[in-house]
Amino acid sequence: MTPFAERSARNRTRPSGADSATKITWFSDEVPIILGSAHRHGVPDEDIRHSLDHHLDAFDVGEGMTMVIGPDRAATPIESGVVELYGGWCVVHAMRPARARFLRR
């Protein structure tokens, strides 16, 4: 289970932002690897990292990918696809703005 999926499962039973102690950080202070495929839609690394650090929700979309929704530095929602690869967490997809199907849940 990704750190995002664990937080999302806990937050589904209470309003968003109800418990600030549920903020997720990377295991062992590791920084996710941002692969080249994540830049396909032109989202810079700094915005991807900001959206992951301040994510609002996460969804298991199958095949080992978790779609993480969070704001970029300008507060525009970003969707980031995160998978476990190469012994750590890797961002393989990032798109701004996040698609409506991830924002309406």
> What's the confidence (pLDDT) of residue 6?
53
In a domain, 12, yes or no: no
CA distance between the termini of the chain: 20
In a domain, 24, yes or no: no
Cis bond before residue 71 (omega within 30° of 0): no
In a domain, 92, yes or no: yes
Q: Please count the other Cβ atoms lying within 10 Å of the Cβ belonging to residue 66.
A: 21
Q: How far apart are CA 53 and CA 1, in angstroms?
A: 17
In a domain, 14, yes or no: no
> What's the confidence (pLDDT) of residue 12?
33
Quote the domain boundaries for residue 95: 1-6+38-105
In a domain, 101, yes or no: yes
| pLDDT 10s digits, 50-70 | 999 999 999 899 999 999 999
In a domain, 104, yes or no: yes
In a domain, 59, yes or no: yes
Report the predicted TM-score, pTM, of the whole model to 2 decimal places. 0.71
Choose between 86 and 70: higher pLDDT: 70
Q: Domain total for the chain?
A: 1
| pLDDT 10s digits, 3-47 | 555 544 433 322 333 333 334 444 445 678 899 999 999 999 999
